[in-house]
Amino acid sequence: KERARVSCSLPEPSWEERLANAVTPLWRLPYQEQLQVKYESQRKILQTLASRLEELGADAQKPGGLCCPLQPVVPSPVINGYRNKSTFSVNRGPDGNPKTVGLYVGTGRGRNIVCVKANHVENIPSNHKQVAQCYEEFISHSPLDSCILFHEGGHWRELVVRTTSCGHTMAIITFHPQQLGQEALATQKALLKEFFTCGPGAVCALTSLYFQESTMTRCSHEQSPYQLLHGAPHIFEELLGLKFRISPDAFFQVNTAGAEVLYQAVGELCQATGDTVLLDICCGTGTIGLSLAHQVSKVIGVEVVEKAIEDAEWNAAFNGISNCEFHSGKAEAVLPQLLASWEDARPLVAVVNPSRAGLHYRVVRAIRNCRSIRRLLYISCKPEGEAMRNFLELCCPPEPRKKLVGEPFAPVLAIPFDMFPHTVHCELVLLFTR
């Protein structure tokens, strides 16, 4: 007899579930289990690094097959709604509405992108969701279309919301001008300002409202200036007893409470004494260097974003910190010049906190070839990516062909920090010495 076939197919997940699974894939797990998942992923990364270093002829294997001891993941003090910066896209929603403000599910390659409202996403705070909802209401009543594909026209694009523990909220709206003239642009800016100051958007109580005309996916302030439509030009954050000014495009750790824990640990790992010089590479608004300035004789910060350097200099002056100097420019251009002529006898400790793209090869080479740097802290949000290449370049035996002639570093300690609860990501601090 043929057995009756019983369908065991599970119901299709809702769009909300799909978005939560894409953006916060660990959201169903209790927090302690999330930390364990992250610990295991960091352990595999250190095992990979140990194997790669061994292939290069470096003395790398330690107990457990790791390149160095791995401490437990340091938990985030805040688990839900911790993000101080959120980026919302504008695109077609599950219902076909082309003016949906939310986050993407799907891929461009698969041509199945859908923009889903993020009201239920656990790592985004409620005030960010409120601004996104208001922006959607505004563009839904606008006669102008959303800009889904640049070549097909349309104007309304993404929204960035930044908030601080001081209660400040900054909104940055990106707009594709297409063929609009200055008068038409001025009208749109006036309508936006009116909506968020006198209309339904006033509930957001924005500290700053910015507008950026952009014909590219991403634009820096230098490429297309941020135009302040309303409020103060900056928002302010307090961290480890210091006050920090934040510009629209300045880097600031996305989890403020987690950043405090991270920077305190970095201060301890630096083992800085009163005569130490701290080299803060990819320094952003100067948070790491300024928070450690009281421990060292001097801080030298390097950062590519010009506005962030302006913020760093303001932050130093406002907090009465006079032993810091900041250099604006690409680290690969600034650092080699800075270190090539380094003759200071004081101990030099380097802290690097690059983007996911890692450090430029010339930066690694400058660090490696500077004899004065004996201790290096590498903070990576994606250690399995380009940062891995940096680790190998720092620790491999000397390679004159690549001009890596300095004594190699060795990893001696790894500490993961959970800056991104509910996601698979971790901030890994690797201490290198030589």
pLDDT tens by residue, 309-358: 999 999 999 999 999 999 999 988 998 888 887 888 888 999 999 988 89
Cα angle value 212/217/220 (rounded, 5°): 50
Q: Is the pLDDT of residue 276 over 80?
A: yes
SS3 87: strand
Order of all β-strands in the sheet with 114-116: 114-116, 100-105, 85-91, 156-163, 169-175, 208-213, 227-231
Q: Where are the beta strands (DSSP E) in 208-346?
A: 208-213, 227-231, 235-239, 242-246, 277-281, 298-303, 324-328
Mean pLDDT, to the nearest integer, of 173-184?
94
Give the domains, in start order, of the chain with CATH numbers: 85-238 (2.40.50.1070), 255-433 (3.40.50.150)
Binding residues for S-adenosyl-L-methionine, by number, are 253, 303, 353
Provide the pLDDT confidence category of residue 32 given band limits of 50, 70 and 90.
Answer: very high
Which of 381, 395, 396, 426 is the catalytic position? 381
Residue 381: active-site member? yes
Instruction: Decide if pLDDT at 5 tops 60.
Output: no
Residues 6+ apart with CB under 8 A from 397: 56, 57, 58, 408
- List CB contacts of 402: < 8 A, sequence separation 6 or more: 365, 393
pLDDT greater than 50 at residue 418: yes
Binding-site sequence positions: 253, 303, 353
Q: Which residues contact 30 (CB under 8 A, 6 or more apart)?
A: none
Report the share of the chain in percent with pLDDT over 70: 95
Total Cβ atoms within 10 A of residue 326: 23
pLDDT of 353: 93
DSSP 285-315: TTHHHHHHGGGSSEEEEEES-HHHHHHHHHH
Cα 227 → chain centroid: 23
**Closest to 324 measured CA to CA, from 302, 352, 346:** 302
> How far is 137 from 126, CA to CA, in rounded Å?
17
pLDDT, tens digit (0-9, with 9 covering 90-100), for 225-258: 999 999 999 999 999 999 999 999 888 899 999 9
> What is the C-alpha separation between 356 and 383, in angstroms, rounded?
8
pLDDT at 8 over 50: yes
The confidence score (pLDDT) of residue 350 equals: 96
CA dist 272 and 43 (Å) reads 28
Residue with more model confidence, 65 or 294: 294
And the tokens for 98?
């082309």
**Residues ≥6 apart with Cβ < 8 Å to 377:** 266, 269, 270, 349, 350, 351, 352, 429, 430, 431, 432
φ/ψ of 403, rounded to 5, equals 60, 30
Query: Are 278 and 349 within 8 A, CB to CB?
Result: yes
pLDDT bracket for residue 9 (50, 70, 90)? low
More confident residue, 89 or 109: 89
For residues 183-191, give the mean pLDDT. Answer: 96
359, 333 contact by CB (below 8 A): no
User: How many Å apart are CA 303 and CA 282, to the nearest integer?
Assistant: 5
The model's pLDDT over 380-414, given as tens digits with 9 standing for 90+, comes to 999 998 999 999 999 999 988 888 888 999 999 99
Reported as a pLDDT band with limits 50, 70 and 90, residue 223 is confident
Say whether pLDDT at 1 is over 70.
Answer: no
Average pLDDT over residues 144-152: 90
Average pLDDT over residues 49-62: 82
Q: Would you place residue 110 in the very low, low, confident or very high pLDDT band (cuts 50, 70, 90)?
A: low
Tally the C-alpha atoms within 13 A of residue 188's C-alpha that lie toward its C-beta: 24
The mean per-residue pLDDT over the stretch 160-164 comes to 98
